[in-house]
Structure 1
Amino acid sequence: MKTAVIFWSGTGNTEAMANAVAEGAGVSAVQVSAFDGDVSEYDALALGCPAMGAEELEDSEFEPFFSGIEGKISGKKIAIFGSYDWGDGEWMRLWADRVKAAGAELIGGEGLICNNTPDDDALAKCKELGSKIK
């Protein structure tokens, strides 16, 4: 099974989560700006993006990327994760709804969120999430 872990991180919190997810999946994490593959060639994707603004996906790189692949993820295993500083996780619930509406199999429930810097427990959950998508 071909798996990719793709993320955007502004503070390093979601990057730490991405690295733990990638470790669990047995792959390397790649920043969305450096991803040059075709998601159609992957069986599973773990996508990471923090909450930005009014609880939304980062809009200069990640949102355009995700919008561009939404039509290509039907039938794929998708895990989503990210960090936040405030709010209640609305961005993750909305993102999970988009993943399911696109016909993907959402792995790990409604997405994995972490308040600010992930602690050891959060990183362990990230590794576990990675192991579920490989």
Structure 2
Amino acid sequence: MKVVYWSSTGNTERMAEMLGEEIKNAGGEAEVCELSTVSPADLAGEDSFALGASAMGDEELDEGEVEPFVEELEKSVSGKKVALFGSYDWGDGEWMRKWEERMKEAGAEVVGTVIANNEPGDEDQANLAELAKKLV
């Protein structure tokens, strides 16, 4: 299973690594990779995957790489199990709620979301472990 991430500060990258380990702990296989190394077409062939990005600006997805990727991905997520994760520094997680709603409207089964305020901690690790179990 692919765990794809875009990280502006390294916090979301750390979450991706943690999620990959938790997927393995739950009995699955995980390939953790940066967003720039995959295409939406690569994920179209997957039954389930995880996608992570840090919040940017006014609680939005990065407009340079992430937003165009998600727009294209929305065309092929119907019927797929998707987990979303990411980190933020301010706000209340509105960007993740909007992202989750977009994926659901595109037909994805969003099995859960995990957001960390800045660097992920023990509680985030536990939440990622639960998310991994839902994906596997």
- Indicate whether the TM-score tops 0.5: yes
CA distance, structure 1, for counterparts of residue 129 and residue 16 of structure 2 = 9
Alignment RMSD: 1.2
Tell me the residue number matched to 1:115. Answer: 117
Count of residue correspondences: 130
Q: Does 1:128 align with 2:98?
A: no
Normalising by the residue count of structure 2, what TM-score does the alignment of the two structures yield? Answer: 0.90
Cα deviation digits, residues 45-90 of structure 1 (max 9, x gap): 1010111001001111111111111010000000101000000111
Q: Could you list the runs of 5+ residues in structure 2 that have no partner in the other structure? A: 25-29
Give the secondary structure class of the aligned counterpart of 1:130: helix
Q: 1:32 is matched by which residue type in structure 2?
A: L
How is 1:69-88 mapped onto 2 (pairs within 5 angstroms)? 69-88=73-92
Normalising by the residue count of structure 1, what TM-score does the alignment of the two structures yield? Answer: 0.91
Tell me the residue number matched to 2:5. Answer: 7
Q: Stretches of 4+ moved more than 6 A in 1?
A: none
Could you say which structure has the greater relative contact order, defined with CA pairs below 8 angstroms and 6 or more residues apart?
A: 1
Q: 1:128 is matched by which residue type in structure 2?
A: E
Q: In the TM superposition, what is the alpha-carbon distance from 1:20 to its structure 2 partner?
A: 1.1
Cα deviation digits, residues 9-40 of structure 1 (max 9, x gap): 01110011111111122312100001256212
Q: Does 1:38 align with 2:42?
A: yes
